[in-house]
A and B are shown apart, each in its own frame.
Chain A
Amino acid sequence: MTAATETRVARVATRPSSATATRAGRERLVSWAFLAPFLVAFALFLVWPLVHGLYLSFTNQSLTGAGGSWVGLENYREALTDATMWRALRTTVWFTVVSTIPLVLIALVMALLVHRGLPGQWLWRLSFFMPFLLASTVISQIWVWIFNPDIGAANSVIGAFGIEPIAWLQDPDTNLYAIVIATVWWTVGFNFLLYLAALQNIPDQLYEAAALDGAGPWRRLTSITLPQLWPATILIVMLQILASLKLFDQAYQMLIGVSTDTTRPIVQYIYEAGFVGYRFGYSSAISYVFFALIIIVGVFQMTAMNRRRSLS
């Protein structure tokens, strides 16, 4: 009884400002309503799988619905002592190293060439970027043909220089590099576009002033262009490392049936453990080991960037 009375008193007391309060309330409601579609999808497809995956990694859950008993850290113990897991992780890291370098350098060179004004600039821009628009399935098909040891274009090209034919995708010594070549062709256009945009943002006066001071083209490149591109380079390297770490689809599609230990990326091993081996619990545990690696890479990048920012 007393509580009810108090409430009524409180309501009466706030009445003068109630119009604004209602409006604020309504605005808050509206903003939540706008956010809701995203939040629902975010919670359903990102937060929940993250949490549930973490839970699964502590169980022996099977794809077939069997199992699900708590096994504690057993999956992690197995993962950390699993030679195949480490090998797959090494493959992914090595791929990231050998693909990021050409993907950044070639993109830079292409952007510089196009920016300097090669004739038919739009054509270069289009043809450098076009492969990026293709689906991974399409580029895999194309490159499987190019790398065909008998009738592929790759062997014809190196044959013209007198090099013996290579079983690109079949030979475990070469197939990861074949994937690197295909990936560079496929995705270099994106980095190229970022570089081109950055180049166009460099103020012309810098070049004009340098030219007046007698700086030649090489000097202008090393003293103006490259330093000015540095922030873009950091961004591109960061994005590229993350993209390369995700290696799966093109490698899986191009090496279908050729699964060798030397070329199995970690994401494929996660897939194999879960969907071929039916071990959801174990496959979740490997995912989290990989997740830890990505966090470490992320922290390194952030520190590197922050240090640079504080220097400048």
Chain B
Amino acid sequence: MARRSTMLSRRGLLTGAAAIGGTAALSGGLSACGAASATDPDQIQFWTLLSGGDGGTMADMIAKATGSGAAYDVKTTTLVWGEPYYTKLAMAATGGRPPELAIMHASRVPGYVPGGLLDSWDVSRLEELGVSQDDFPEDVWRKGMVGENVYAVALDAHPTVMMFNPEICDKAGVLDSDGKLRATESPEEFVDLVSQVGGVTKGSPPLSYGYLGDGSQMFRLFYTFYTQHGAAMTFPQGGRAEIDDDIAVASLQLMQRLLDGKLALQRNDYAAALAEFATGRSGMLFTGVWELRSVKEAGVPFDMTTIPTLFGTPATYADSHAFVLPHQSEVDEHRRDLTYQFVADLLKGSYDWATAGHIPAYLPVTESPDYAKLMPQSNYAQAVQQVNYDPAAWFTGSGSNFHAGFGNAVQPALMTGKDAAGAVDAFRTRINGLLKTQNPVDPDGTWTS
């Protein structure tokens, strides 16, 4: 009896062991299979921050690039844009095993490079693939450079623009014979034009501009007006912010003047302003090119143009989506070759990217006859020649605290229409505080370009 039970248990044990062994073998086989695809020598890991419509457009472009017998395969990882994306990318680069390729905002690049987080692009290798400096607007190309090296190759520029409703504007008599908005060259002329449109949109203000709680939105318009004065803003590390007070105050005052409750609502947020325009309640909207698709889908008649030059110098606030090579401790040269090829293919196919509203940075695309026919995109294509990015500093750029900080300093002045000078002072104090702090990716200040 006792013997039997021992036998049984031993047999049970053996069966169990076999089963476990089998499972292990099976899962071993499966995981080996997974590992094989992860180490596919032709696969490029690509991180993007493009979601929604942009993400879909990018997926189509990648499918097109990889579809036609390309030498590479691309595995895309999309992460939520903003802080989470940039933190993850920084940490991946710190770990030494980041993706082969990533998209960053060009304005974030100067803050990243000193930490050794990015590898520089080999310009001659790009040239061999038909991508050279001459193929980009000068300012856009230069924004990708830190010191003598190129760290970011721009895919696009996405400037702040003005949308207008041609039906409403036509009724107001502010369109010229070919349907373009009448040119305005000073704040007075522009204010007159907006009030004229207001005669048609009776009851609701003619201009939509949402900014509440949205520092980026405030900085975009402010910096457009500021740079239209031909002025620059520089933030020297360890020094003091160089901001032209008079010009900054004049720019803010124009914003206050527009936000008088009659031309534009004094207190409005981004989504509500967009909705006003998209439902045909207002005739004009300050926004970014990226809203092209959502306004189009709303079905309201619309056209787009650059923000008129009101202070003499054509200038527009913009940022760029740019390709970067996150720093890898061990570079696989074969994969890196494929990465160069992939980027060249995407740039050459960036006509599709224009459908999302962004202006492709690769000039052969925007100078093509096809692009000239693309409406309303070609109406604001000249913006790419007059772009102004965030002033370079470690703390600036899309998704950084800089925009929020600007908003905190300036929002009270916009909400009340008072004390523009005080707002500029508050902004300067903030920046001076940040300039005293070392770039946190290089806290000992050891990096040299």
Q: A residues near B, CB below 8 A?
A: 60-67, 69, 78, 82, 149-150, 167, 169-172, 255, 257-261, 272, 275-279, 281
Q: Can you report 12 residue pairs joining A to B where beta carbons are below 8 Å apart?
A: A60-B438, A60-B444, A64-B91, A66-B441, A69-B443, A149-B269, A149-B272, A150-B272, A169-B213, A257-B213, A258-B213, A260-B404
Which residues of the other chain, B, contact A169 by a CB distance below 8 angstroms? 213
The docked-state distance in angstroms from the alpha carbon of A279 to that of B434 is 12
Is B275 an interface position by the 8 A CB rule?
yes
Which residues of the other chain, A, contact B54 by a CB distance below 8 angstroms? none
Which residues of the other chain, A, contact B256 by a CB distance below 8 angstroms? none
Which A residue's beta carbon lies closest to that of B211?
A170
Least CB distance from A258 to B in Å reads: 3
Q: Is the beta-carbon distance between B444 and A260 smaller than 8 angstroms?
A: no
The docked-state distance in angstroms from the alpha carbon of A272 to that of B402 is 12
Q: Is the beta-carbon distance between A275 and B214 smaller than 8 angstroms?
A: no
Provide the B263-294 mask, 1 if CB < 8 A to any CB of A, else 0.
00001010010010000000000000000000
Q: Is the beta-carbon distance between B213 and A278 smaller than 8 angstroms?
A: no
The docked-state distance in angstroms from the alpha carbon of A279 to that of B438 is 10
User: Could you say which of A64, A170, A172, A260 contacts B441, with CB atoms under 8 Å apart?
Assistant: A64
Which residues of the other chain, B, contact A64 by a CB distance below 8 angstroms? 90-91, 93-94, 115, 117, 440-441
Which A residue's beta carbon lies closest to that of B404?
A259
Least CB distance from A120 to B in Å reads: 41
Q: Is the beta-carbon distance between B87 and A63 smaller than 8 angstroms?
A: yes
Provide the B393-429 mask, 1 if CB < 8 A to any CB of A, else 0.
0010000110010011001000000000000000000
The answer to whether A172 and B411 touch (CB under 8 A), given A66-B443, A275-B83, is yes
Least CB distance from B210 to A in Å reads: 9
Q: Is the beta-carbon distance between B213 and A260 smaller than 8 angstroms?
A: yes
Q: Is the beta-carbon distance between A277 and B272 smaller than 8 angstroms?
A: no
Q: Is the beta-carbon distance between B401 and A66 smaller than 8 angstroms?
A: no
Which residues of the other chain, A, contact B214 by a CB distance below 8 angstroms? 257-258
Which residues of the other chain, A, contact B443 by a CB distance below 8 angstroms? 60-62, 66-67, 69, 279, 281
Q: Is the beta-carbon distance between A63 and B438 smaller than 8 angstroms?
A: no
Is B442 an interface position by the 8 A CB rule?
yes
The size bracket of the interface on B is 20 to 34
Which residues of the other chain, A, contact B441 by a CB distance below 8 angstroms? 62, 64, 66, 278
The docked-state distance in angstroms from the alpha carbon of A63 to that of B213 is 28
Least CB distance from B335 to A in Å reads: 23
The answer to whether A170 and B115 touch (CB under 8 A), given A66-B444, A67-B443, A261-B408, is no
Q: Is the beta-carbon distance between B94 and A65 smaller than 8 angstroms?
A: yes
The answer to whether A66 and B87 touch (CB under 8 A), given A170-B213, A172-B411, A258-B213, is no
| B113-135 with Cβ < 8 A to chain A | 115-117
Which residues of the other chain, B, contact A82 by a CB distance below 8 angstroms? 433
User: Could you say which of A63, A255, A261, A281 contacts B90, with CB atoms under 8 Å apart?
Assistant: A63
| B195-237 with Cβ < 8 A to chain A | 212-215
Which residues of the other chain, A, contact B267 by a CB distance below 8 angstroms? 167, 170-171
The docked-state distance in angstroms from the alpha carbon of A163 to that of B90 is 48
User: Could you say which of B404, B411, B442 contacts A66, with CB atoms under 8 Å apart?
Assistant: B442
Which residues of the other chain, B, contact A272 by a CB distance below 8 angstroms? 401
The docked-state distance in angstroms from the alpha carbon of A258 to that of B212 is 8
Q: Is the beta-carbon distance between A62 and B87 smaller than 8 angstroms?
A: no
The answer to whether A62 and B440 touch (CB under 8 A), given A149-B272, A258-B214, is yes
The answer to whether A260 and B440 touch (CB under 8 A), given A167-B267, A167-B269, A277-B401, is no
Least CB distance from B437 to A in Å reads: 8
Which residues of the other chain, B, contact A276 by a CB distance below 8 angstroms? 83, 87, 400-401
User: Could you say which of A65, A170, A255, A275 contacts B269, with CB atoms under 8 Å apart?
Assistant: A170
Q: Is the beta-carbon distance between B438 and A260 smaller than 8 angstroms?
A: no
| B346-404 with Cβ < 8 A to chain A | 395, 400-401, 404
Q: Is the beta-carbon distance between A260 and B272 smaller than 8 angstroms?
A: no
The answer to whether A62 and B408 touch (CB under 8 A), given A276-B83, A278-B440, is no
Q: Is the beta-carbon distance between B87 and A170 smaller than 8 angstroms?
A: no
Closest 4 pairs (CB-CB, A-B): A67-B443, A258-B213, A60-B443, A278-B440
Which residues of the other chain, A, contact B83 by a CB distance below 8 angstroms? 275-276
The docked-state distance in angstroms from the alpha carbon of A149 to that of B433 is 35
The docked-state distance in angstroms from the alpha carbon of A171 to that of B211 is 11
Which residues of the other chain, B, contact A66 by a CB distance below 8 angstroms? 115-116, 440-444
Least CB distance from A26 to B in Å reads: 29
Q: Is the beta-carbon distance between B87 and A275 smaller than 8 angstroms?
A: yes
Q: Is the beta-carbon distance between B440 and A277 smaller than 8 angstroms?
A: yes
Q: Is the beta-carbon distance between B94 and A170 smaller than 8 angstroms?
A: no
Most-contacted residue by chain A among B267, B401, B440, B442 (CB, 10 A) = B440
> In the complex, given contacts A277-B440, A278-B440, what are 9 additional A-B residue pairs having Cβ atoms less than 8 angstroms apart?
A63-B87, A64-B440, A66-B443, A69-B443, A167-B212, A172-B213, A172-B411, A255-B213, A260-B407
Which residues of the other chain, B, contact A78 by a CB distance below 8 angstroms? 437
The docked-state distance in angstroms from the alpha carbon of A259 to that of B403 is 10
The docked-state distance in angstroms from the alpha carbon of A276 to that of B111 is 12
Which residues of the other chain, B, contact A150 by a CB distance below 8 angstroms? 272, 275
Which A residue's beta carbon lies closest to that of B412?
A172
| B36-91 with Cβ < 8 A to chain A | 83, 87, 90-91
The docked-state distance in angstroms from the alpha carbon of A261 to that of B426 is 12
Q: Is the beta-carbon distance between B212 and A171 smaller than 8 angstroms?
A: yes
Which residues of the other chain, B, contact A279 by a CB distance below 8 angstroms? 437, 440, 443
The docked-state distance in angstroms from the alpha carbon of A9 to that of B440 is 65
The docked-state distance in angstroms from the alpha carbon of A278 to that of B400 is 11
Which residues of the other chain, B, contact A63 by a CB distance below 8 angstroms? 87, 90-91, 94, 440
Which residues of the other chain, A, contact B117 by a CB distance below 8 angstroms? 64
Which A residue's beta carbon lies closest to that of B95?
A65
Which B residue's beta carbon lies closest to that of A67?
B443
The docked-state distance in angstroms from the alpha carbon of A255 to that of B404 is 12
Which residues of the other chain, B, contact A69 by a CB distance below 8 angstroms? 443-444
The docked-state distance in angstroms from the alpha carbon of A62 to that of B91 is 11
Which A residue's beta carbon lies closest to that of B115?
A64
Which residues of the other chain, B, contact A170 by a CB distance below 8 angstroms? 212-213, 267, 269
Most-contacted residue by chain B among A61, A169, A278 (CB, 10 A) = A278
Q: Is the beta-carbon distance between A260 and B90 smaller than 8 angstroms?
A: no
Which residues of the other chain, B, contact A261 by a CB distance below 8 angstroms? 408
Which A residue's beta carbon lies closest to that of B395?
A277
Q: Is the beta-carbon distance between A260 and B408 smaller than 8 angstroms?
A: yes
Which A residue's beta carbon lies closest to that of B83?
A276
The docked-state distance in angstroms from the alpha carbon of A276 to that of B115 is 15
